[in-house]
Amino acid sequence: MRHVDFSPLYRSTVGFDRLFGMLDTLAQPEGSQTYPPYNIERTGDDSYRISMAVAGFGDEDISIEAHRNVLTVKGEKNAEQKSEGELLYRGIAARSFERRFQLADHVEVTGANLENGLLHIDLTRNIPEEMKPRRIPIASAKETKEIEARTH
């Protein structure tokens, strides 16, 4: 296992402890989950889409929950569907799953839809006005106002 030491970066960054912890866990393949497969794409400047392949699941079998900065998608089959004949091979996985996505600050889920075996979850980043960068004007010496009154 390859381990990266982030301690030199701790000296020059503030508030990125969680990011370095997440990078450490990415290097550990033991806890990685591969089902169901998914894509994350950027659909605009501040919009994203997560697409998950959930063949065999209906919208009543899937629950989506956003709490704080974690998006959780769970899939559970309610009842085993009966086929008319004897099942010789099961290639379409219908096992239960739970997939968690860590969301950045100010990212909100705006909608979800299920079509053709793909679950699409739309996300939007809404940064409040007070958090956006703004230009601060610099006053020249001529424009500064006199604070103290002159005494005669």
Question: What CA–CA distance (Å, rounded) separates 55 from 77?
Answer: 11
**Of 80, 63, 83, which is closest to residue 71 (Cα–Cα)?**
63
Rounded Cα distance, 49 and 39, in Å = 8
Contact 61, 79 (CB under 8 A): no
Residues 72 and 110 in one domain: yes
Domain enclosing residue 4, as ranges = 1-32
pTM over 0.75: no
Q: How many domains does the chain fold into?
A: 2
pLDDT digits (tens, 9 = 90+) for 67-113: 888 899 999 986 555 566 787 887 776 788 999 988 888 888 999 99
Could you give the C-alpha distances from 108 to 19, 30, 111, in angstroms and in order? 19, 30, 9
SS3 sequence of 101-113: EECCCCEEEEEEE
The DSSP symbol for 68 reads: T
> Would you place residue 152 in the very low, low, confident or very high pLDDT band (cuts 50, 70, 90)?
low
Residues 4 and 53 in one domain: no
Evaluate whether residue 118 is within a structural domain.
yes
User: If you average pLDDT over every residue of the chain, what do you get?
Assistant: 78
What are the strands of the beta sheet with 62-67, ordered from one edge?
A: 62-67, 70-75, 97-102
pLDDT over 60 at 57, yes or no: yes
Q: Are residues 95 and 46 in the same domain?
A: yes
- Whether residue 96 is found in the same domain as residue 111: yes
Whole-number pLDDT of residue 8 = 62
Are residues 3 and 24 located together in one domain of the fold? yes
CATH number at residue 65: 2.60.40.790
